[in-house]
Amino acid sequence: MTERRKNLLCLTALLGLMILLFSRILFTDRIVRAPDILNESYWWLKSYADMGLADLFRFNLTADWNPLINSGHTTNGGMVSQQFLLYQRLILHFIPPPASVAWFMVLHLFLGGAGVFFCCRLVGCSAWGALLGGAIFALAPENVSLINAGHVMKIATISFAPWAFYLLERGFQSRRLIFFMGCGLTLAFQFFNTHWQIAFYTCLCLGLYGLLRSLGILCATEGKPPFPLLRLLACNLVVLLFFLTSVSISLLPLADWSKDTNRGVQSGANQGKGGLERDEAMSWSLPPEELAGFVIPGFFGLSRQEAGPNPASIRSYYWGRMVFTQTASYMGLIPWLLLPLPLLFRRDRYTWLALLAIGGGVLFAMGKYTPFYNLLFDIFPGINRFRVPKMIMFIPVMGLALLAARGVDLLREERVRRSIAFQRYLLGAGGLALSLFLLLAIEAVGREFWLSTISPLLAQPTRYEQGPQLVMQRWNNLVMETAIAAALASTCVASLYALTRGWLSSRLLPCALLLLFLGDVTRINDKFLFLVDVPEKSSNSRTAVIDFLSRSPGEYRTLPMNNDDPMLYASNGIPVLYTSNPVQQVRWQEYLDAFTLNSSMPDQMNLRYLVLDAGQYAREKKRIPRKFQPVFLSPDHRELVLENRDVLPKAWLVSTARVVREGEQTLRMLQDPGFDPTATALVESPPPIPLATTVQTPPSPPGTVAINQYGRERIELMAISHVNSLLVLGEKYFHGWRVRVDGQTATIHPVNHVLRGVYLTPGRHRVEFVFDPLPFRIGKWLTLASFAFFAGMLGREWLMHRRTAVNSGQ
């Protein structure tokens, strides 16, 4: 059998195994129970099933402004690149929802596993060893339990990491430029999957790999002819430059957008240096004691999904020191038992690099518990922009998968099995099994002592559980998990011993180890795969309230106050005031923090409707301002819509401006129920034209404003101003918008902290707002040029290969 056929057979086997093991969530009309999926991912994933086939292939490479969510939302065009991920669209279109969500995640896990498979093959592993390596990456609970958390795009982003390492190593081995370019392009496509923290960590690790690999090549004294220093530097530089140009359509807009967010350099967090506060950034660090979970997966309990009863298959919910966790840190016991073999018998550069990936990744994941991460947080650019240091654990999984694949191959070599070092290895593996049984005995014999000693720790309440029953629940789970780990370790050791005695064929050993691994991780993975019925409002989102709100003009906004997901309304074309997002514009977050219904703050944001439960309204009626009056009751008498009778139009003219340079003072003035935004505008710098500083009595209207066009990225107004005025638009201020007044470029000024304003002289004016950020335009053309260049290089490679084949035939 040819190597190509072996590879195809192994990948087919891996895919078949994954479909079998995940069949419960793949072949169903239910949906994975995860808030992030039910409230967010499901909506946009489902939208592809409703698109026409031709629409899937239609590209719209323009910066987007979404007026439906968060009173106007954008990433400056940084998400447009998702259109390049055409294969994802096809998956979501042809596989019907809700199962399409699970298929999306499982197929990406397979993609990552296939990447690890080829990495293993590239460094000399057999097909069967590489199959185990790919299975470890694709099925390790550390990665699979992300399904439980609903981290759809995190899984998709992780799946590209092995391919980036594969292409870089292929470049080092072949010394061909196309592979270095392919590595940069792969990193760009990983970035397009929008989980930027995973992409950032991949780039960090790939950069370190490239540096160490290059130093190794320069220091090598045997093997291939020397790799010229300048060419080696150029190839590494190609990876960086080609990545930066390919990713520009996302990177440049997002870098510009992030400056004004609560994680940007101007956010004031992290002692004024931008990014997150230290405590928040390190809140999801892996506690050192939880390293025991690498061998005993349920040592600190096993997470179940937020919101819902603890499934019967889980004896104890997670009770460790992290704030909370939705995932498991387990990677399987078999890979750890195989890890020492390459350290004993194949200590080459790939073994040491894989060991560095494991050790360095785990050290990084421990975050605040180590001086290492604290030092990086202080001095290394970008580290302080992200929380959850544990998110880097996909790198140790890759390293462990590679070493386990090499370990399987070494077990099949007779010279290895006959060596004294192997006998010592067997003793060590047996020692691990014996240690686990000894721990189990200590737990059983000293039960009363341990319970009296650590019961305060075992009794610690969590967000979901409290009470004296937790002590025995957690203790019994700890004992049971220790017993399972001891039994599994002893079974593996018995298999290895049977191999040395000739009772087990070396050909069957990889299958035996793979089956043990599958049984081990499937037991854990099954505890993280929960299904629920598709929520009623998800399966049939057109409610009576939504039908009523849909008849309202599109420039007015709605605020659900009955715990409904705002995306339910936005997905039906109804603009909402607020949608949850951990990264917000600083101005907007400050406005939300100060927001009160008993002021003009909702009026100036065009908030016209509140949605409440009828019972909720009866209880809170006295606290709701009288300007909000009931206008619609759903037929089942459960939901009520209130209308804001003081809501302002989309735009208005103000002839009086007051300069307030401090944002906190502006917000306090806006909170005052007596403040009238139609009479006075609060600005941050002196007006360029003379405006009144006090309101006239009686006030006279400065003019009128009419809306000619209200679109997503273009708003056109016609204003008739009788005096020098400030045109105020009830839309969020953002620097990506440009304005032209009577065809001439003008300046947009922040008004009332979050709104846009344009100064007008007396007369009739045509005012046109256009969303067209410069960073996106530059990034788009850089990316398209990069794609075109890579296509040209691929064509060149094909012609060279064809010419070589023809010459060989001659």
Ranges in the chain, pLDDT < 70: 221-225, 263-274, 304-310, 536-541, 696-699, 808-810
Contact between residue 317 and residue 304 where contact means Cβ atoms under 8 Å apart: yes
Contact between residue 63 and residue 80 where contact means Cβ atoms under 8 Å apart: yes
Residue 29: name the closest of 542, 571, 540, 539 by CA. Answer: 539
What is the predicted pLDDT for the residue at 53? 85
Read off the pTM.
0.90
Calpha distance 810→807 (Å, rounded): 5
What is the predicted pLDDT for the residue at 170? 96
Residue with tokens 């944001």: 605
Contact between residue 299 and residue 384 where contact means Cβ atoms under 8 Å apart: no
What is the predicted pLDDT for the residue at 228? 85
Residue with tokens 């990876």: 239
Contact between residue 571 and residue 541 where contact means Cβ atoms under 8 Å apart: yes
What is the predicted pLDDT for the residue at 224? 63
What is the predicted pLDDT for the residue at 304? 64
How does strand 749-751 pair with strand 755-760? antiparallel
What is the predicted pLDDT for the residue at 222? 64
What is the predicted pLDDT for the residue at 464? 76
The token pair that represents 5 in the structure block: 């056929």
The answer to whether the bond into 98 is cis (omega within 30° of 0) is yes
- For 305-351, what is each residue's pLDDT tens digit? 555 666 777 888 888 888 878 889 999 999 999 999 999 999 999 99
Q: Which helix (H) or strand (E) holds 731?
A: strand 725-732
What is the predicted pLDDT for the residue at 597? 96
- For 137-196, what is each residue's pLDDT tens digit? 999 999 999 998 889 999 999 999 999 999 999 999 999 999 999 999 999 999 999 999
Amino acid, res. 458: L
